């Protein structure tokens, strides 16, 4: 599969990341088959979080892939920490260190390629984050670091204290959740599209060489459902189907190709546990939509050119 530079890490990572949040929803044989299919497709960058399935997703994945030293060197593992469900978002030194140790045990590995802070902690003490990152990096437990769902000022605050580069920022982004992109078209306007809801995080990440990892690339709203094949989006689906027919691929591939067309070099995170749909996502890496096709899809989603 086509690869990208992941931030300033020096890692050449697949342009598609395989999200493992739902791997606890399939049985053992299905999990083994899915992971094997991903590897056969060249999709060897796997995204986890300590809270996915209460930790079970990491354990199931390690069993499914048959984790050992030989396997480990052929894959990239990314996980996230910082959420204590129903309690708090916690970026304390103690919680970060304990979370990483838990993920290492469940994933049956002695190092994580990328650790992301999972959603902002309002009470963050960046000095503690820096201490935790320093310990994890010097011990070899974590090689690279990033964040999730953070705006430019939150990242800048961390970077004031953290010595390691912030290489990735995982953010919600799809054709129907594209305010991050559309606000750039509405500069100096008075309409709703001009509202800057994220501090120009797209431009900031591009300027600072931070890779944006779009999550829920096929969802609309906040986990309200997928837009593909959804009767709520007739014009969008008609346009996607039209372009899919031109390229002889699925609608899934075109929706993913729409994200990959952006020059920021996104690394979208899939959420499917279906081998066929994962293959469609990977196929998108071979497609480069024209500028006109990209905007046709953008407009069909209900966006405007002011």
Q: Is the pLDDT of residue 194 over 90?
A: no
In this prediction, residues 93-105 reach a mean pLDDT of 98
In this prediction, residues 249-271 reach a mean pLDDT of 98
> What digits encode the pLDDT tens for the residues 109-143?
999 999 999 999 999 999 999 999 999 999 999 99
Q: Nearest-CA neighbor of 153 among 103, 204, 193, 216? A: 204
pLDDT score at 193:
86
Domain ranges across the chain: 3-232+266-287
Q: How confident is the model at residue 59 (pLDDT cuts 50, 70, 90)?
A: very high
In this prediction, residues 35-50 reach a mean pLDDT of 98
pLDDT score at 192:
86
> What digits encode the pLDDT tens for the residues 283-305?
999 999 999 999 999 999 999 99
In this prediction, residues 207-214 reach a mean pLDDT of 98
Write down the pTM of the prediction.
0.97
Catalytic pick from 52, 204, 220, 298?
Answer: 52
- Tell me the fold of 3-232+266-287: TIM Barrel (3.20.20)
Residues 6+ apart with CB under 8 A from 166: 7, 145, 146, 147, 155, 158, 159, 208, 210
Residues 6+ apart with CB under 8 A from 5: 11, 12, 211, 265
pLDDT score at 222:
85
Dihedral over alpha carbons 170, 97, 57, 122 (to 10 degrees):
-40
In this prediction, residues 210-214 reach a mean pLDDT of 98
Which helix (H) or strand (E) covers residue 233, if one does?
none
pLDDT score at 223:
82
pLDDT score at 151:
98
**Cα angle at 118 between 266 and 167, to 5 degrees?**
40
Indicate if 52 belongs to the active site: yes
Q: Which two tokens stand for residue 3?
A: 């690869």
Write down the mean pLDDT value for the chain: 97
Q: Is the pLDDT of residue 72 over 90?
A: yes
In this prediction, residues 168-196 reach a mean pLDDT of 93
Q: How confident is the model at residue 56 (pLDDT cuts 50, 70, 90)?
A: very high
């Amino acid at each position: 599969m086509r690869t990208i530079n992941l931030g300033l890490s020096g890692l050449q990572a697949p342009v598609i990341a395989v999200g493992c949040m739902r791997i606890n929803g399939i049985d053992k044989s299905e999990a083994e088959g899915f992971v094997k299919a991903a590897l056969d497709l060249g999709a060897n960058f796997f995204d986890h979080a300590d809270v996915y399935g209460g930790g079970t997703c990491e354990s199931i994945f390690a069993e499914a892939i048959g984790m050992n030293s030989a396997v480990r060197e052929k894959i990239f593992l990314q996980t996230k920490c910082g959420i204590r469900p129903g309690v708090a978002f916690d970026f304390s030194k103690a919680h970060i260190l304990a979370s990483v140790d838990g993920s290492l045990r469940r994933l049956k590995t002695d190092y994580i390629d990328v650790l992301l802070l999972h959603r902002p902690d309002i009470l963050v003490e960046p000095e503690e984050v820096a201490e935790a990152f320093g310990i994890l990096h010097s011990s070899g437990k974590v090689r690279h670091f990033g964040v999730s769902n953070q705006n430019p000022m939150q990242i800048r605050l961390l970077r004031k204290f953290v010595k390691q580069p912030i290489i990735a920022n995982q953010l919600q982004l799809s054709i129907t959740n594209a305010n991050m992109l559309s606000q750039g078209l509405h500069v100096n306007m008075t309409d709703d599209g001009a509202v800057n809801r994220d501090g120009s995080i797209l431009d900031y990440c591009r300027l600072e060489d931070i890779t944006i990892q779009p999550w829920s690339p096929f969802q609309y709203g906040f986990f309200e459902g997928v837009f593909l094949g959804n009767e709520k989006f007739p014009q969008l689906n008609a346009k996607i189907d039209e372009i899919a027919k031109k390229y002889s691929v699925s609608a899934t591939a075109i929706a993913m190709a729409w994200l990959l067309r952006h020059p920021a070099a996104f690394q979208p995170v899939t959420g499917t546990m279906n081998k066929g749909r994962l293959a469609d996502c990977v196929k998108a890496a071979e497609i480069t939509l024209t500028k006109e096709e990209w905007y046709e899809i953008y407009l069909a989603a209900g966006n405007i050119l002011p």
